[in-house]
Amino acid sequence: MTYALQADALGKTYQRRDGALLRALHAVSFELPQGESLGLCGSNGAGKSTLLKILAGAVRQSTGRWRSAAPLRAVVELGVGFHPDLSGRENALQLAALDGLSGRAARVHAAAALEFAGVEHAADEPLRAWSSGMQVRLAFASAIAHPCRVLLLDEVFAVGDQQFQTRCVERVRALQHQGTSIILCSHSLYDLRQLCSQALWLENGSVQAQGDCAVTTARYAASLRAPLPVRADRSAAHGPHTAAPRIDAVEVVGSDSATETRSGDDLLVRVRWSSPNTEAVHCGVALLDHACDIVAACGTHLSGLAPVTGTAGCFEVRLPRLALLSGSFRVAAWLFDRHGLQRHDELVAEQPLTVLATRGQVGRVTLEHHWTHAEPPRFTLLSNPALELAPRSVAGA
């Protein structure tokens, strides 16, 4: 197997002002196959950014070694290398030069970056006159304007507005299809699961787990037991000038009422949505417990369905023979982009759903099962004369 990047026992130690040593990274090893993507997860201060800075060459490791099969391109700190007195175009050309381009290639690169960032109208204005959002968009666009072999990304999907984030995701997917190997650091476990096949979980500078992305991120999430963030202020996210699709209502139809159903009965959930444009969307629905942990979830993209286009509509999902046992649950819905990756909106049904179990079962869910019972085998001791020992003769008898 060909590896794009290999790290062996990487470590980084800093000396504090009081002379004490601070271990930021300890014995981190991994291998990134060519064309694959690796996700980095962990809490703040876990060592994720330190690892990326070592790989990007911005920081030298204290111990260990690493090697890359090709030059690395890093998007670790957006805006590094910008000069406020230079125009946007000049800054883009400067970043192209730092990336090894010159002449016509640099000009093509800069033009592509300005177009991708959507800042062509201000290209010849000094950067100090730009908003911070415009600057970080240009920084990200400059980093991914042309293909590369190995790409390092650190929390870049929070850049810009919803539309630009969607374009960023599409660009990353395009780079993956072109064979680019990617290391993505993000606090969004959903983004990691959608974009990465492998994951590395860091905590206190050490590797806690690594392997399949879904399994590794699930272990990390289980260690947190943190409530699922549910947006409370919808007006702030959906002002009068928003261009993103939104969820208008989440309706639950239980066997008894909108707020009550019985275990084993069918449950119907309707998600009404609208959009100022005809952008294609996917829908996801989840059942949450009292701690906002996801008990079960489903999505149109996870079921292999095509995205829906239009300016309004209503998704319906029927859950036959509901497997939940007695308890109180919340029904949440999400609206995704056409890839099922970028979240446009989320909404939790106003009233909790009470599930009543008709039998005395325990747990969160009931599992289909079948009991059997077999009698233990019985053994009968049979006498075999051939095995009997002849009586021992006694001397002198």
What pLDDT, in 10s, does the model give residues 103-151?
888 888 889 889 888 888 998 999 889 888 888 888 888 877 777 889 9
Average the pLDDT over 217-236 and give the result: 58
378 pLDDT above the threshold of 60:
yes
pTM (2 decimals)?
Answer: 0.67
394 pLDDT above the threshold of 70:
no
In this structure, CATH architecture of domain 241-356:
Distorted Sandwich (2.70)
Assigned token pair, 226: 């943190």
31-35, 77-81, 376-380: which has the highest mean pLDDT?
31-35
**pLDDT tens, position by position, 5-44:** 999 999 999 988 888 889 999 999 999 999 999 999 999 9
Mean pLDDT of the chain: 84
153: β partners: 75, 184
pLDDT at 380: 67
Domain with CATH 3.40.50.300 in the chain: 3-224
Average the pLDDT over 193-210 and give the result: 93
Contacts of 360 (CB under 8 A, 6+ apart): none
Helices (H), strands (E): how many in the chain?
8, 18
Domain with CATH 2.70.50.60 in the chain: 241-356
Band of pLDDT at residue 78, cut at 50, 70 and 90 = low
- Strand residues in 71-140 grouped as ranges (E): 72-75
Q: Report which secondary-structure segment, H or E, holds 50.
A: helix 48-56
315 pLDDT above the threshold of 80:
yes
Superfamily for the 3-224 domain: P-loop containing nucleotide triphosphate hydrolases (3.40.50.300)
pLDDT at 230: 47
> How is residue 307 annotated by DSSP?
P
User: DSSP H helical segments within 118-264, as ranges?
Assistant: 132-144, 162-177, 189-195, 213-224, 234-237
Band of pLDDT at residue 360, cut at 50, 70 and 90 = low
226 pLDDT above the threshold of 70:
no
Contacts of 327 (CB under 8 A, 6+ apart): 289, 354, 355, 364
237 pLDDT above the threshold of 60:
no
pLDDT at 60: 93
pLDDT at 283: 96
Strands 260-262 and 353-356: parallel
The answer to whether 114 and 89 are in contact (CB under 8 A) is: yes
Average the pLDDT over 347-366 and give the result: 79
pLDDT at 383: 62
Average the pLDDT over 244-271 and give the result: 87
Average the pLDDT over 214-235 and give the result: 62
Average the pLDDT over 330-358 and give the result: 87
Higher pLDDT, 187 or 376: 187
The answer to whether 59 and 68 are in contact (CB under 8 A) is: no
